[in-house]
Amino acid sequence: MFQAIFVYIIFALFMCIFLVEYAYCEKRNKKYSLLYLWLSILLFSLVFGMRYGVGIDYLSYLDYYINPYAYYGKSIGMEVGFDFVSKLLYNQGLHFVFFFGLIAFAQIGFFLFGLKKIPIVLPFVFFCLMTSGILLGGFMNVMRQSISFTMFVYSIQFIVNKNFVKYLFCILCASLIHFSAIILIPFYLLAYINVDFTKKINIQIILYILSIIVSKIGVFDYIIEFLSKNLFLNQYERTLSIMADTQTTNLVFNIDFFLRNIVVVIIIIYSDKLKIFFQDKSFVLIYQLFFIGVLLNQIFSGSMSLNRINMYFYNYFPVVSGFAICFFYLSRKSSLRYKNLYLFISAIFILLFMKDMYAASLSKSTSKYVFYFEQERYIEKQIELQNVINARTQN
């Protein structure tokens, strides 16, 4: 556990330093700005490429990479784009660290370049991404879909600029990594919807409360169960049931639920001020996707597979949270309330990170940091890897 906390804190510190320098250079001296952005991308790729045994699917990816032709003729549900890149790296004789490093490179690269036009928010957004659990438990758990999500973040600029060809190309490429990205094509229509459906704060609050009530009384349970079992989502059920088994105690889960709801409500209350402060069309669009995500996250709480699809929207939670912390931080001198909110929300995300580190002390944690050259220490994962190999050879 100590190693995980040490590595993550040092890593996050340097990432934030690079992103702060990028924001500073964009404002004062653009000559070196991209250098710091690329340094952050390379650092991310190195640290996450060298992790071992991360997530539920890591070992399946590992076995697939080091024994690709053992899967020849077998239905493994791997999209053609991802399959092509994997085999290309393997045929070059590259170590699996390069494979996982490239995955991390794509994830953070599309993500940061998608938001780089508002450089001041990047350190805050990364802080929220790192501490929210979406990076540690999400990006490295659902690797292919996380790449598709970050490509969606990158493609937001094409919706804002009304460039359908580039948007379609980006989403189709994302679907070659994870087919579920195909559902994102219709969201290009947001480019032509001039009405901000998140303009009224009181309506947002009412809808959010209703979504929580609906999830608790199970109004849509039958529909959710039908969709989960009859769409292509059923392929996730086994993996997601395993993920459910690795959850920590109900007390930790309830605290997590409570803290996230507090952040969402604060963001909704100050959403109009955020839109005025940033005055960026892409932020309005990102906020709309975030709001869709937090509503569906409540409604689909009974179906982990549907929430897997909702990942394309709920993953904007740390993004919008980063915008909010940035706003409160930059406005802290004008109002004591903003200063307190900046500190309060930051503290909540630190608590969420501590929750993940508590999970890292458990044997089945997906957040534990072990270097690839220490894999012998990770006895549980060594056993799981052998199980993966046995399952593959028996099919």
**pLDDT on residue 241:** 45
**pLDDT on residue 66:** 85
The domain total for the chain is 1
- Distance separating alpha carbons of residues 369 and 50, to the nearest angstrom: 9
Token pair belonging to 131: 């501490």
8 A C-beta contact, residue 33 and residue 22: yes
8 A C-beta contact, residue 317 and residue 290: yes
What residue numbers bound the domain in which 294 lies? 2-394
8 A C-beta contact, residue 140 and residue 55: yes
3-state secondary structure of 183: helix
User: pTM to 2 decimals?
Assistant: 0.88
8 A C-beta contact, residue 168 and residue 188: yes
3-state secondary structure of 270: coil
3-state secondary structure of 371: strand
**Amino acid identity for residue 6 in this structure:** F
**pLDDT on residue 216:** 78
Token pair belonging to 245: 């088994």
Per-residue pLDDT of the chain (395 residues; tens, 9 = 90+): 677 788 899 999 999 999 999 999 987 777 788 999 999 999 999 999 998 877 667 778 888 888 877 665 555 567 889 988 998 998 999 999 999 999 999 999 999 999 999 999 999 999 999 999 888 877 877 889 999 999 999 999 999 999 999 999 999 999 999 999 999 999 999 888 878 889 999 999 999 999 988 887 766 666 666 555 555 555 554 444 444 444 444 555 578 888 999 999 999 999 999 999 998 889 999 999 999 999 999 888 766 677 788 899 999 999 999 999 999 999 999 989 999 999 999 999 999 998 878 776 665 566 778 888 877 666 666 666 666 666 656 65
- Looking from the CA of 157 toward its CB, the CA atoms found within 13 Å total 14
**pLDDT on residue 356:** 79
Closest CA to 260 of 208, 305, 218, 203: 208
Token pair belonging to 45: 């790729």
8 A C-beta contact, residue 3 and residue 369: yes
DSSP-derived secondary structure letter, 141: T
Contacts of 241 (CB under 8 A, 6+ apart): 304
